[in-house]
Amino acid sequence: MKYKLYKTGKNLVSGAFIVAGLTLSAITGTGIVANADGEATQNPSIVKTQITDGLQSNGAGLVYYESGSMVKNKWEAIGDKTYYFGSDGQALSGLQMISTDSGSPQKYYFGSDYTLQKNTTFTINNQTYQADSNGFVSILEGLVTNNQGKSFYVNGQKVTSQWETVDGNIFYFGSDGQAVTGLQTIGNQQYYFGTADGTDKYSLQTNFDMPINGVTYHADDQGQLKPKNGTIWGFGDSTTVGWNSYNDGSQSYDAYAAKNLGKLYRNTSAYSGTQIGNDMVWMTDQAVTDNNFSQVTELVIGMGVNDINFGDGKPLNTIAQIFQDSIRRLHAANPNMKIYVLLPQGDWWQGSNNETIGSDGFSMNQLRDMLTQVANSLGIQVINAGVVTDQNHTTTLPDGVHPTNAAYQAIGEKISNVIQNNPINNYHDTYQNYDLGNVSGYVNTLAGWRWLENGLVFTGFRYYMGTYYWFVNGARQNEGWRTAWGHLYYTNADGRAVQGIYNINGQNFNFGNDGTYYMRSSGYLYDGSSQNGGYRWYENGQLFTGFRNYMGTYYWFVDGVRQNAGWRQAWGYTYYTDDNGRAVSGTQFIDGKLYDFGNDGTFFERPLSGYIWDGSSQNGGYRWYENGQLFTGFRYYMGTYYWFIDGVRQNAGWRQAWGYTYWTDQDGRAVEGHQNINGQNYYFGDNGTFYLR
């Protein structure tokens, strides 16, 4: 067979190469060559090309060859993966519209690996799609179950914070688009989602009674929940919070009461450290605007102890006015609830007791009486738990204010008994004017007569009925020393400042007769202070700082108080007082050092130098000192030089000093002249210099 070629004398190129993305393979076999006449003849060494079928990769993606031809506009299943190759032969990716066999267009989604996606969801431009088992794609609509639970889609958009009804079941989808489950608060209402047996976790439950977290709820036909047995609202301080420092798992007494009665407990109005005087108004503001307050069936108010211990001077009348007015506002916000006033358990804070007058001028017992009076005037039930008593407060109220967990439980039992046995609301809105305004003077308050200044209890002297009286937190004090205006005063058993010569505990004091009442006396006087047996030194009625001669010696005082051992500076000199506060004299060892305070009755410290008896164990108790320090070296004494080491006079031996060599004899004196020492002659001069020549 002969073929005509376009070019003579050229062999076809053999080898493998790519043409338009096609793989060509070199195959050895019979080929056609041209002879000298340009005629074609067969040549076995000529290479034929062959295209490999199957999936191939090119610069643009994937292509597929079948029988040597590129597949176009066609589906191909390769293993468990499905591809579609478009009009250009490239495998498609992303969202695509492809005509079905019937000619109608259908959406499909191909992944980044070009494979058809099935049984999945995906989002494009904030719109969510789903692909079915055939890969048919549609915009996601309706209820969808996912790994997190259930979601609801409208036109591919996930519904959030919205109710939806599906096949008669009602769902609520939260801010994350997931159907909520269990007990939920939506808006101002509570709802429960999911059946009691757990077969359905997400649908709204209606028309049922169910215990949830220990509280029995009733759901109406709208699914709105209300505690079947009501809600207790705790209003108060740290005891309403249920706090203590004992790490015993304490809870509020109101929480225990609610548990006993199967009621819901809310402690939204429970804050540690709060007072009636300073905090009840804003706590009431907060409560009456709370969306849940209208559902409260019982309000338990328990506070007041902090007004006693940490108040800012408001008298009991002001506290009563705030208490009454706040209760009236609370009732007006929810007329159907029953209000209970729980009396404080007691006050033994830092050694006080229920009779101790606190910083607002009243005691715990007076506070309880006021709370009872206000509650009774409003027809409110008072709860006096009686769990904590004078006899057991160290175990029931260890820190003086906060109950133990066992005491909280017992108080809660008392509260629940009162609520159970007194179900009728007898409230009547009776107003009483308790407030005294900004009055100043000696006023009869709910806590008794108190001195007020601008409506607040006063501490200090006030002139009343011809003399001065001393008040503390408004209460007139009785007998005792008082300090005011830089002077010292004394009030008698009636609380009046005394004057003239007045005998106190067997000692006469001078308080003047000029209507000034302050003490003029001088000396070591008994004033009942906490130090040195109640004595302090006064000069003209003023507490004195410095030395005063007393019983034959000098004592050092600071603010009238006799000091004990220590160094003192006075009159330009230095002194030392011993453990009894007396100035020392003579030589004294202080902190291992010897000092000289003289023996002439002057007591001041002076330089200590010389051969001084200090009771040491050597040389008869004498040692040499220089400025109070034990001395090492030569010192001239009684006509010659002696050698000392740490103050101790040494005996026979060689000595080095001032660059010379010396010898001291057995008495410690430096020798001179010719001396035989250990069989050898030495010369130490005869001019009083004593050194070896």
Give pLDDT tens digits for 199-248.
Answer: 899 999 999 998 888 899 999 999 999 999 999 999 999 999 999 999 99
pTM, whole model, 2 decimals?
0.65
- Residue of 384, 409, 422 whose CA lies nearest to 259: 409
CA distances (Å), origin 210, targets 56, 191, 207, 413 = 65, 12, 10, 24
Which CATH number applies to 51-139? 2.10.270.10
Does 2.120.10.30 match the CATH number of domain 607-684? no
- Residue of 595, 583, 524 whose CA lies nearest to 553: 583
What are the residue ranges of CATH 2.10.270.10 in the chain? 51-139, 141-228, 458-563, 607-684
Give pLDDT tens digits for 311-365.
Answer: 999 999 999 999 999 999 999 999 999 999 999 999 999 999 999 999 999 999 9
Give pLDDT tens digits for 159-193.
Answer: 999 999 999 999 999 999 999 999 999 988 899 99
Given a contact cutoff of 8 angstroms between Cβ atoms, the answer to whether 440 and 452 are in contact is yes
Q: Which CATH number fits domain 458-563: 1.10.760.10, 2.60.120.260, 3.40.50.300, 2.10.270.10?
A: 2.10.270.10
What are the residue ranges of CATH 3.40.50.1110 in the chain? 230-428+436-441
The pLDDT > 70 percentage for the chain reads 93
226 phi, psi to nearest 5 deg: -140, 140
SS (H, E, C) 209-252: EEEECCEEEEECCCCCEEECCCEEEEEECHHHHCCCCCCCCCCC
How many Å from the N-terminal Cα to the C-terminal Cα in the chain?
Answer: 146
State the pLDDT confidence band at 263, using cuts at 50, 70 and 90: very high
Q: Which CATH number fits domain 230-428+436-441: 3.40.50.970, 3.40.50.1370, 3.40.50.1110, 3.30.450.20?
A: 3.40.50.1110
pLDDT value, residue 13: 33
Burial 185-219, CB ≥16 within 10 A → b, else e:
ebeeebbbbbeeeeeeebbbbeeeebeeeebebeb
Q: What is the CATH superfamily name and number for domain 141-228?
A: Cholin Binding (2.10.270.10)
Q: Which helix (H) or strand (E) holds 269?
A: strand 264-270
